[in-house]
Amino acid sequence: MARMTNRAAVDVMWGVMLLMQMMGLIRSFNFGIGGVDGLRMDYYFMSCPFAEQIVWNSVTSALQSDPTLAAGLLRMHFHDCFIQGCDGSVLLDSTKDNTAEKDSPANLSLRGYEVIDDAKEQIEEQCPGVVSCADILAMAARDAVFWAGGPRYEIPKGRKDGARSRIEDTINLPSPTFNASELIRMFGQHGFSAQEMVALSGGHTLGVARCSSFKQRLSNSDPTLDSSFAKTLSKTCSAGDNAEQPFDATRNTFDGAYYYGLVNKVGVLTSDQTLFASARTKGIVNGYAMNQAMFFFDFQQAMLKMSLLDVKEGSAGQVRLNCRKIN
């Protein structure tokens, strides 16, 4: 736990990295993935060297007060990247002329916008007009995973913010009622393998699901659902559609408990349990349930890949001064 909450240790880590960069021991990393060769690990090294530290401090402060926000920040990044790419579009507020992504039924349960706002406000004081909201969100999700006990992964920076955010686009988010074949198809459209899809699904080791997302499993006799757990879910839903059920037994800790739950038929959503029910993904789930280190490694790689989805560079986007509205 000390690793997750000791800000001084992280300050030292960043200090060492900055010193190594100054000494030339860490080179700039260019990424030629999907046309994102403008992104670099040290993108803000000269223009806003304390950007990452500010994001970390904002995330740490928020999660110390409310650990459940880790799940919110991770999910927000995922919902951003799957719609129009990782361009901060999920952060935009609706206007009188447009209903934005965040007001879609699929996004009404997203949380953590104030964390992004806090980091953005502090960064704007230090480096006006330099750091994009898309990058802040990507860094915040990464830091939330680490704070909750998950792996530390690095991501290149340099994303620009998009100007489009429309409710109708959220139809392209995976549904909680999808089966494994549908998930494989949808993630495949974004370039992910079945293994990467199962690894990314492990983000459900954090957070909760609302009854409205799983109650359809209770009206039918679902052979993939443990009968005792079905009673637990029914009891949760007795409090209404907005009642919350943790995805696994350690809702605020990033670990392999999610996969262990699937093996024991206590996955909350259809889209969770289907990963163990399907022959195409069952072996992957078993592997992650038995080997958390393997899950962590694959999750790191998949999150890096996701953070590069359809990013906007140069004149294709902007750096918003306020993450909630376009400039």
Closest CA to 295 of 254, 265, 327: 254
Percentage of the chain modeled with pLDDT above 90: 84
Among the listed residues 77, 79, 190, 204, the single catalytic one is: 79
What is the SS3 string spanning 167-206?
HHHHHHCCCCCCCHHHHHHHHHHCCCCHHHHHHHHHHHHC
Q: Among 1.10.420.10, 3.40.50.2300, 3.20.190.10, 3.50.50.60, what is the CATH number of 180-305?
A: 1.10.420.10
Please give the Cα distance from 52 to 31 (Å, whole number). 19
The confidence score (pLDDT) of residue 143 equals 98
- Total-model pTM: 0.88
Annotated catalytic residue 77? no
Domain-by-domain residue ranges, the chain?
Answer: 50-172, 180-305
Report the CATH fold assignment for 50-172. Peroxidase; domain 1 (1.10.520)
Percentage of the chain modeled with pLDDT above 70: 89
Backbone angles phi, psi at 113, to 5 degrees: -55, -35
Closest CA to 244 of 68, 64, 103: 68
pLDDT tens per residue, range 56-83: 999 999 999 999 999 999 999 999 999 9
pLDDT tens per residue, range 114-168: 999 999 999 999 999 999 999 999 999 999 999 999 999 999 999 999 999 999 9
Name the residue with higher pLDDT: 240 or 19. 240
Question: Which residue is associated with the tokens 């198809």?
Answer: 185
Contacts of 156 (CB under 8 A, 6+ apart): 29, 31, 36, 39, 40, 41, 43, 307, 308
Q: How far is CA 129 from CA 16, 122, 142, 164, in A?
A: 27, 12, 22, 19
**Are 88 and 162 spatial neighbours (Cβ–Cβ below 8 Å)?**
yes
The half-sphere exposure of 230 on its side-chain side, counting CA atoms within 13 A, is: 13
pLDDT tens per residue, range 174-189: 999 999 999 999 999 9
